[in-house]
Amino acid sequence: MTNPITKCLRTKKPQDTKPIWFMRQAGRYLPEFRKIRKLNPNFINLCLNENLSSKITIQPLNRFELDAAIIFSDILMVPYGLNQKISFEKDFGPKLQSINIKQISDIDEIDFLNKLYPIYKSIKKVKKNPIIKNKDLIGFVGAPWTLLVYMINLCSPKKKLIKDFFKDQFLINRLLKILEKFLKIHIEQQIKSGATVIQIFDSWAGLLNEKDLPNYVYIPTLNLVNYVKSLDVPVICFPREIKNYKEFCEIVQPDAVNIDYNIDPKLIAEKITIPIQGGLNPKTLLSDKSTLKKEALKYLNIFKDRPYIFNLGHGVMPETDPMMVDYLVKFIKDY
């Protein structure tokens, strides 16, 4: 078992060198990505271009000594596969058209797979690249709650859901069932194509009240976590901005949990026994080297005797200087 991240997740023991990768490491802050993006303004089409998406996935590994590639795709490819129309607008983000629950209920598994087939081809292409040898290839999905938010809210909620979000309980419960079914299909295909780890992103878990977490976050995510484990692949969860990471880990039982930058890492080290990933504020990469070093050291020291994967508490920001990423990766590797 030479892949450092898989090794950390399976043995649940501290590694000599802390493994490192970044959320959104493939993409918008790299000049070589921006060149491709300029020529390919339709984001969905770019995700479905197996030649370009596999090339973008590899770009950060050509620059930095990272321990994993994460496939260049998007959590909203699942709603797209369910025939919900989606567009990405500059300075706004995703815009989704209203859903027709009857149409979505009638979606056939083969039609869904045909729509997303280029993603699996892209994973296979990356897997064949020699640069990925002894590194992990991370596949991912959005958690059911987060996808539900986009599909009903029709855009990013930022800090707030639409006023009558919960009014149609039939729609919500039906959608959650459909999402669970097709997320499992999407996960299985990513693993069959070569993904060695799955990460589940619950970007909007922090919008819920404590009383609503079991129905919308814990139970739907637990079902996915158990499914990934049944395929003998480790699974990392990122329930962003929830208050009680301990309760989440005890109920959902992922192989590792990615923490966001608003949580005190000391509290996490005291209360959680499973491997931890992430935590560093992505804005730290916009500062200077001494600040970056100091903040990185904080996490390295807190988790020095723990199984820990170095990452951020959210994705790499578009204005990040790649030289700062290079500095951070080298610093972690020398720690």
pLDDT digits (tens, 9 = 90+) for 72-98: 999 999 999 999 999 998 878 899 999
Q: Which residues pair with 86 in a beta bridge?
A: 96
Host domain of residue 279: 4-334
Extract the tokens encoding 318: 């578009």
Tokens 């730290």 appear where? 284
Give the HSE-up count for residue 217: Cα atoms under 13 Å, Cβ half-sphere: 28
Extract the tokens encoding 158: 């930022």
Domain count, the chain: 1
Rg over alpha carbons for the chain, rounded to the nearest Å, is: 19
pLDDT at 2: 75
CATH number at residue 10: 3.20.20.210
pTM: 0.97
Q: Which distant-in-sequence residues (6+ apart) come within 8 Å of 49 by Cβ?
A: 40, 118
The total number of residues shown for the chain amounts to 335
- Give yes or no for residue 164 having a pLDDT over 70: yes
What confidence tier does 1 reach under pLDDT thresholds 50, 70, 90?
low
DSSP assigned state of 233: -
Task: Return phi, psi of residue 118, to 5°.
Answer: -60, -30
Q: Which distant-in-sequence residues (6+ apart) come within 8 Å of 328 by Cβ?
A: 285, 292, 296
Extract the tokens encoding 31: 């000049």
pLDDT (tens digit per residue) in 212-247: 999 999 999 999 999 999 999 999 999 999 999 999
Q: What is the mean pLDDT of the chain?
A: 96
